[in-house]
Amino acid sequence: MQYRVETLDSRTWLIEEYDENNSVYMYLLAGEEKAVLIDTGFGTIDLKEICAALTPLPVTVLLTHGHADHIGGTGYFETVLLREEDKEIYGLHSDENMRSAFTKESLCPVKKDITFLGDTTELKLGGRTLEILPTPGHSVGSICILDRERRWLFTGDSCCKAHVLFLFPYSGTLSEYKNAMEMLWQRRDEYDLTWPGHHAKPVEKDIILQFIEAAELLGEGKLASRVCESPFGSYRLAEYKDIGIEF
């Protein structure tokens, strides 16, 4: 796979790992003392070297969730943080057969000895504070990350301008997801833009309201869905405005 780097500001970079079929975004956030890499993609590019070329600061990995296309490059780093609720899915998606479903290229080994976040709710980088917001749904341990000083919300796969997936084992419930999106919406005055893990970027925060409305309508049986097929089996898709829910 290939990669490209987009500079968001003097201390923030978007790293995209992609080929003709797949694309995933990672975000390198530097403070005055430390740096955090949000997610590590498929594991086909040398993220350690890429990050070192962008910042001399020590880099800690913070995973938005445990799926294969977000944990692939963890083996390049000493410290990897994940919510413990995603422990099982991290193990499942570390399997080479699961990872090869996304790409056939040579892959970096996934790190085995990761650190669970526990009660950690924020990371201080020196002049830059990241708040960790649990958003179960796409996975039970999914998080979003609020960059307080820059007023940005990094959302992983929780609310891209596309479909949210509940297809894999260890997904949360529709009710949990709706509650999580309502929490993000209640805090909308604290951020101006959202930066997702895939698809269009950045995304206006109103996208969160679409997911709330869709989840509410689907839960009430007022949103139609249809059967679709994927490499992982059959699922139902409910589409609403700019987004969809796959379950």
Asked if residue 112 belongs to a domain, the reply is yes
User: What's the domain range around 102?
Assistant: 2-159+171-204
Q: How many domains, the chain? A: 1
* DSSP symbols for 123-137: EE-SS-EEEEEE--S
Q: Is residue 219 part of a domain?
A: no
Query: Considering the domain boundaries, does residue 210 fall inside one?
Result: no
Q: Is residue 183 part of a domain?
A: yes
Report the residue count for the chain.
247
| 234: CB partners within 8 A, 6+ apart | 227, 228
CATH of the domain at 90: 3.60.15.10
Q: Is residue 230 classed exposed, middle or buried when 0-12, 13-18 and 19+ CB atoms within 10 A define those classes?
A: exposed
Q: Is residue 166 included in any domain, yes or no?
A: no
174-186 vs 207-219: helix crossing angle, rounded to 10: 150
Report if residue 214 sits inside a domain. Answer: no
Instruction: Name the token pair of 6.
Output: 């987009």
Per-residue pLDDT of the chain (247 residues; tens, 9 = 90+): 999 999 999 999 999 999 999 999 999 999 999 999 999 999 999 999 999 999 999 999 999 999 999 999 999 999 999 999 999 999 999 998 889 888 888 789 999 999 999 999 999 999 999 999 999 999 999 999 999 999 999 999 999 999 999 988 899 999 999 999 999 999 999 999 999 999 999 999 999 999 999 999 999 999 999 999 987 789 999 999 999 999 9
In a domain? residue 199: yes
Domain annotation covers residue 125: yes
DSSP string over 152-190: EEEEETSS-SSEEE--STT---HHHHHHHHHHHHHTGGG
